[in-house]
Chains A and B, each alone.
Chain A
Amino acid sequence: MSTPVEAGRVVELRRLHPLTPFVRGWKALAVIVAILGQQAAEGRGGSPTPMLIVLGAVVPLALVYGWVAWLFTRFGFDGEELLIESGALFRRSRRVRLDRLQAVDVVRPLLGRLLGLAELRLEVVGGRSSEGGLAYLGEDAALRLRAELLARAAGVRAAEGEEAPEAPEVVLHKVPAGRLVGSVLLSMPTILTLGLAVVLLVGVAITGEPGFAFAILPVLLPLGGGMAQRLISEFDFTVAGSPDGLRLRRGLLETRAQTVPPGRVQALRIVSPLLWRSRGWVRVEVSVAGYGKESASESSALLPVAPRHEAYDLVRLVLQAEVGPHPGPEAVPLTPVPARARSIDPVAWRGLAVGADDRVFVSTRGVLRREMDVVPHAKAQSVRVTQGPLQRRLGLASLHLDLPPGIRPYADHRDAAEAGELLRREVELARAARARALPERWAERREG
């Protein structure tokens, strides 16, 4: 099918997978069935016939609506742009500029996996969460479309009618299930859960009332839920490298495959929680413009848990794609804060340090939970120095780098004169880095 865009120019348009209305509608159906089931279980509502009649009317209507919506949703490529048309009554035609593409996700919900369907999400800057999503496509179609999107975004020109090949990939790291479980167990929620369980047992023993246990359940449930959530969403985490950038795959029930093209990494954060230190594990988080909008911190993991040296190897690889060959953030000389910062931050001041080479800005903080931020200079949107009244009395100031939503790098409690110098240098370095920035279309970069 094709539609004229301008006089004399025609764009090929495709449709989503025909099973889309069923997959989209099943959630609504599940809610209705749940209500029915609850009513039946409580013995209310007498005979279930009226509800069944409602169901009999709603389901076909929903399916017809879904089918019409499917009929009117079409997409296709118009040169450098992806065109998405949708809506039966209120028509919407959207163009996504592919050179501004930040990441492509292929998401397979559980039901979609059973039916062989996948959703394709395009992350672009601005706009609300994951606009430009295409749900649902056949799995093969989604992968082919992803390859085509990336090829066009990279500036690779495929001959007309020829399919863009999937870029070859090399698996860089796979998180074993045992390590993931261990990392979740060695976390604050577990300690809290254990503590609460002890309190609970003691409480039951003292009062002799088993009902006491239920009082703590509302606290335990979300804690356990959060742990289960992490396990399920980060299960089978795989990091792979390809010419199209980083490939991150994860998920137990709903699987998600993210592709982050070169030059899209805004910042990295290496986190080393106290409880992991004996095992030598760290977590690496990544900030990509467009992901922060969902406010799901899970989606920002580059590596949920890995031995320190392997994590640093990966960080070096990522930095190489961003700023060229780099010895790694640990090679950047760091300067600690003056000892008078102790008056403001009595414990953590020892962990505060900042440094920069000509490629990246590095800042560390924390004593119990150590964090290290790594930011390519070119990514800073603006640079700030702030000073509160207490800092002013001590002659200290803080430096902040403003980035798209995600990681917020900062360096607290620097000597005020040094902060001014850091600001001046960061502005210079960022300007120089922007001037030599590589083109957005990564296939047009020359290896050198």
Chain B
Amino acid sequence: MDTRSADAFDPPGTSWLPVSPRLASVRRGLAAALIGVPAVAAAVLLAVFAALPWALVPLLGGAALLAWAWAVVGRQVAAWGYAERDDDLLLRNGVLFRKLVVVPYGRMQFVDVTAGPLDRAAGVARVQLHTASATTDASIPGLPPAEAARLRDRLAARGEARAAGL
């Protein structure tokens, strides 16, 4: 890892909070379904309409793909981090394409907490911050619901205290 580039995404004196590892479970489950179902279906079709050994091709291919996705999801989830500073919220994510966003509390227009059915089953929620800019992409997926609610209320309170005009 390039030490110089580590600086840009890790401002000194920042204590990063990770997202829940359950986010990895949700994404891995999704990957398993998306890769496994077509692979198994293709294997069954090949076993029925061609020779049985052919069924190994999609199964092995699917397994390899899944193993890769497994590792990628792990790294991606580990790369997520957020930090609450006195005046702004820091977010960082991405392994191949890295990103660090600084959102001043006073710039927040509203905060969303969302959770899909899979997220709810796994006990994670997504907190999304909105500013007046459409390009501000500030969302934290995979927070435990209690932490998401705490963060939402805290952000809203801090935003109110520091609100500034456009």
Contacts and interface: CB of A to CB of B under 8 A. Distances in A.
Q: Do A and B bind each other?
A: yes
B132 A434 contact: no
Contacts of A402: 131, 133, 135-136
Given A402-B135, A427-B88, A416 B4 contact: yes
A393 B2 CA distance: 8
B84 to A, nearest CB: 14
Contact of A386 (B87, B99, B164, B166): B99
A420 B106 CA distance: 22
Interface string B90-108: 0000001111111110110
B128 to A, nearest CB: 13
A436 to B, nearest CB: 11
A343 interface: no
Interface in A411-443: 415-417, 419-420, 423-424, 427, 430-431, 434, 437, 439-440
Contacts of B107: 381-382
A397 B166 contact: no
B156 interface: no
A102 interface: yes
Contact of B7 (A264, A378, A420): A420
A348 B99 CA distance: 23
Contacts, number: 113
A102 B166 contact: yes
B8 interface: yes
A427 B104 contact: yes
A409 B86 CA distance: 26
A389 interface: yes
Contact of B164 (A385, A388, A437): A437
Given A402-B135, A404-B132, A427-B88, A383 B8 contact: no
Given A382-B107, A395-B4, A388 B97 contact: yes
Contact of A417 (B7, B98, B135): B7
A266 B133 CA distance: 11
A405 interface: yes
Nearest to B129: A382
A392 interface: yes
Given A99-B165, A417-B8, 9 more contacts: A125-B132, A266-B166, A289-B166, A385-B100, A386-B98, A395-B2, A420-B9, A423-B100, A437-B164
> Which 10 pairs, one residue from A and one from B, show the smallest C-beta to C-beta distance?
A420-B8, A381-B133, A402-B133, A416-B5, A381-B131, A382-B103, A402-B136, A382-B136, A440-B165, A387-B98
